[in-house]
Amino acid sequence: MSLRRCIALVCLVLAPAAARAQHLLVPMDDDQTNHLKAYGLTYNALKDGARGEWLLNYRGGSFLLPDTPEIRRRAGLDGVTVQAVDDAALAAIRSEMAGGNMESVPLEKAPKIAVYTAPYTPPWDDAVILALRYAGIPYTPIWDEQVEHGDLAKYDWVHLFHEDFTGQLGKFYIAYRGAPWFIAMEQQNLQMAKKLGFPNIPALKKDVAEHIRQYVANGGFLFAMCGATETLELAIAGEHVDIASQFADGTPMDPDADAKMDWSRTFAFRDAHLEKSPFVNSMSDIDGHQANVPGRRQQLGTFTLFAFSAKFDPVASMLVQDHRSVIPDFYGVTTSFMRNRLKPGVTVLAEEPGAPWVKYIHGDYGKGSWTFLGGHDPEDPQHAIGNPPTDLSLHVSSPGYRLILNNVLFPAAKKKPLKT
């Protein structure tokens, strides 16, 4: 941060009440010094009862907040750039927005957030948890017991990450079955299955997946990354298929399992072919990169965010707000989604131009909606088991992590009727 900007920020925070403007603009273009904490500033202002606006496509998807001492104080502590805006200046901003591909969306209420995460500590981190903690956005961790007891209904937004909802524990038994962390993970999942009355881990995870499907159908917002995107869909489609109950003894899957899958119940994918061998570290042919399968790994490129009409498609526009339109790709258990496996009506938010796969997708389901982002960590493209968590203080303007935080604020937006 330049000395001039530091002085301006301190003066803004310490300005007397009489000198305060009516509004604070939180720019999200290259003038912003900490994009990630700007989301936390906005979220916590809403949580404290303030109303805000998301200025879609204006200076990188800026936020407009009321000018209060508390918001100024938090902005100063977090190093978030804010700019005082009086009514005349705001009128000029609105006039500029009216003439371009821009729109203002009211932000009314901070969503209640839950993250589906195991109580044990796996040897990998969750990018969404890292983002929430760094931004200062509160969340509640939940796992199978809370889901089975109906707690999903308490939350507006639920995130899934690395979980394998087919119950095969990510097929990590292929390479890590003797590792203490894998043994502990298997034992705790099995104990939870027995506690909740299920015969095995796959049966439990299949039922958890069904609860998540019902949560979205009833109006919930779901965001998933990495392996959870693919395995959740396989578990839902395989309602009447025993995908994985015998994986531990190396028994191949039913060769007719593909034909028994019911894709009418899934969110995003259709007609995928299951990987039936327990000794191949892949779940299906949904993922285009197959990062963990020797000989089938695709090289990373970049993906491009689509430029949606902010006035006619504000939902998709919210999800792609960024100060960069081209973002370096990053691997995950599920890195990408094959185009030929997408259901009709799925909105592609980002793609690798010319590739047979896409990176970032969204859709409605029942009364709710879902968003899937492939990959594990936007700032650790080669992320491997045992790597240390990403230090987001070194990536305060990460365009990839902005996509995650767009989804966190998305449920706070007042949905406008589509213009015709």
Neighbouring residues of 143: CB distance < 8 A, sequence distance ≥ 6:
116, 117, 118, 119, 192
Question: Which pLDDT value is given to residue 382?
Answer: 82
User: pLDDT tens-digit profile of 5-42?
Assistant: 443 444 454 444 445 679 999 999 999 999 999 999 99
**CATH architecture designation of domain 113-412:** 3-Layer(aba) Sandwich (3.40)
Instruction: Judge contact between 37 and 80, C-beta under 8 A.
Output: yes
Q: What is the three-class DSSP state of 67? A: coil
DSSP letter for each residue of 31-91: T-S-HHHHHHHHHHHHHTT--EEEEETSTTTEEEEE--HHHHHHHHHHT---EEE-HHHHH
Neighbouring residues of 154: CB distance < 8 A, sequence distance ≥ 6:
112, 114
Question: Which pLDDT value is given to residue 296?
Answer: 62
DSSP letter for each residue of 228-270: HHHHHHHHHHTTTS--STTGGGTPPPPTTHHHH--GGG-SSB-
Question: Which pLDDT value is given to residue 147?
Answer: 97
Question: Which pLDDT value is given to residue 1?
Answer: 46
Burial of 419 (0-12, 13-18, 19+ CB in 10 A): exposed
Residues of the chain with confidence (pLDDT) below 50 = 1-11, 13-18, 246, 248, 418-420
User: pLDDT tens-digit profile of 38-49?
Assistant: 999 999 999 999
Q: Residue 137: which of 109, 158, 110, 107 has the closest Cα?
A: 110
Domain ranges of the chain: 3-107, 113-412
Question: Which pLDDT value is given to residue 17?
Answer: 44
Question: Which pLDDT value is given to residue 250?
Answer: 55
User: pLDDT tens-digit profile of 49-103?
Assistant: 999 999 999 999 999 999 999 999 999 999 999 999 999 999 999 999 999 999 9
Residues in the chain: 420
Question: Which pLDDT value is given to residue 178?
Answer: 85
